[in-house]
Structure 1
Amino acid sequence: MLPNNARRTVMLPAVSAVLATAMLATACGGDGAGPKGTAPAADAPKSAPAPRQVVLVVDGKKTETTTTGTTVQQVLEQAKIALGPYDLVKPAADQPAGEVVTIVRLLSAPKLKVIKTPAKTIRKKSSSVPPWSEKVLREGTDGIKIVKWAYVRRKGKKVPKVLAQKIKRKPVARILAVGPKSAGTGSAANLNWAGLAKCESGGNPKSVNPAGYYGLYQFSMATWTSVGGTGKPSDASAGEQTYRAQLLYNKVDGRWQGQWPNCGKYLFS
């Protein structure tokens, strides 16, 4: 039997050997979570998209196609639809395909055109403006519209088609104050103006004499302007022409002979 000191000397090397073996196993054998040499599991393969229905609208004509494509380009390729160099596709070819894909066949590249939108004229009655006269309260401004267009084929013909339009500037209406439409002026209103007009112009408010006389009562431009008329007398309404003829009669104190030397007598018939 060995002394106690001898037994301790023999046992220490044995314990050290066991600890060293355990440390080597930990360093070389991984984390011990599984059997040595087991490879990690591979990702499961992704399944292909399920077939679905997509509506194709080509130049307004609708068809349906069954597709597994995810982008517009893939859907069109599976449907065997080729795009021309100028064709418009919505959504774009590289975008995800929704339930509807729209195609507009174009024969030319889209172009832009600037179009003016005429301003409207608004007339407001005003007692502060002389009868049959107008006063500008606000000048109008034409609008501007940008139109995108291209040529397309319709019924075998090449025709322009508006693709889109944008309002760049809205029109601003012109506002006019309009005086009352007076039926007559003073005692002159009781005269036979229809008889005078029949003799002077055949009763035609649009009548024009090459010598420079206009309308029902054959005004000269100078005489028409002198009684407040604007533009040509033949462009004014029959009512305004009669009103201004009566103003003229009053202005010359009834001396109609200088104005209507041949037909003035019919005023009293």
Structure 2
Amino acid sequence: MVALILGLVAFVGTNKSVVLSVDGQSSNVKTFGGTVAEVLQKADVQVSAADRVSPDLATEVTDGTTIEVFKAKTVDLTLDGENQTVSTTGQTVADLVSELRVASNSAVSASLETALTGLDDPLSISTPKTVTMVLDGTSYNRLTTAESVAELLDEAGITLAPTDRLSAPQTAALVNGMALKITRVKAGEKDTVTEAVPFETTEVPDSNLYEGEEKVTVKGTPGEKVTVFETMLVDGREVSRTLVSETVSVQPVAAKIAVGTKKKEAKPAPAAASPGGTAPAGGNWSALAQCESGGDWHINTGNGYSGGLQFSVSSWLGAGGGQYAPIAAGATPEQQIAVAEKLRANGGWGHWPACAAKLGLL
């Protein structure tokens, strides 16, 4: 009887009630096992090195111990465009993302609460990347979780024209630090330029006009030319243009100018002045003396100039006047004119600029 009682006590003492959870499915297990490994063996739960068991297999169990087993499973996924298969003991997508140690703001194709066993398609994870974008000549950085160039363009709301150029194929996978240049190209743009066409001028001899006289008989008017170019713009800047057409829409009208050929009659020369101050032969000299000295050929006011043509001492002597008199006022009008002719031969009427201009001699 005593032995029976002792055996019963030993049986009761070694029998334990354990909570066994396998991948979230819990059950109560009666066991005589002493360690977690023994309990799992008696419960016919096979575990591998990849599985996660808590507490570990060598832990002694007591009545009420909870054993959790998370069976390792394989998951097909694409991480930043790279296909791979990973083994995980996680239960949800959030568990897997945590195990992969990717950024929490990564783009994931399924909800984080989704059970891994409930995935119908391979999981896609795209981590945040900084891409330098150059668009319309402006450069800026964009943080994105897009996987490809095409997805990035769609995300940024950028529509490409058929002629636009990309520095990378649209199918290319994005990587952190990547630079993407978008070049806007506009070809076939028409540019119309309107410009004046100059008119020609024709001179026609006219015997009714004196020599040196001109008269416009037909007023010239410019024409108009329309030129069409085909241009190519790159990022808004013209890089080439091709001539398409050139048309003179308005013909110019040539100007006509009548040019006089009629000879002028020579005017008779005035009589020569007498030594007392009357004008000598040679109308120009007489008129010039009248302007320079009031027609007084022997004037000497002491201002450095004397005579009818107001010679300076240096001009008078330099032109040979010293052979007649020390200063011009002492010479006859004819002698003064002879010296003046020498000056005019070397320098023209410019020796008497004011009066010569007044008389129209310059």
TM-score with structure 2 setting the length: 0.24
Query: Structure 1 or 2: larger strand share?
Result: 2
The structure showing larger relative contact order (alpha-carbon pairs under 8 Å, at least 6 residues apart) is: 1
Larger C-alpha radius of gyration, 1 or 2? 2
TM-score with structure 1 setting the length: 0.29
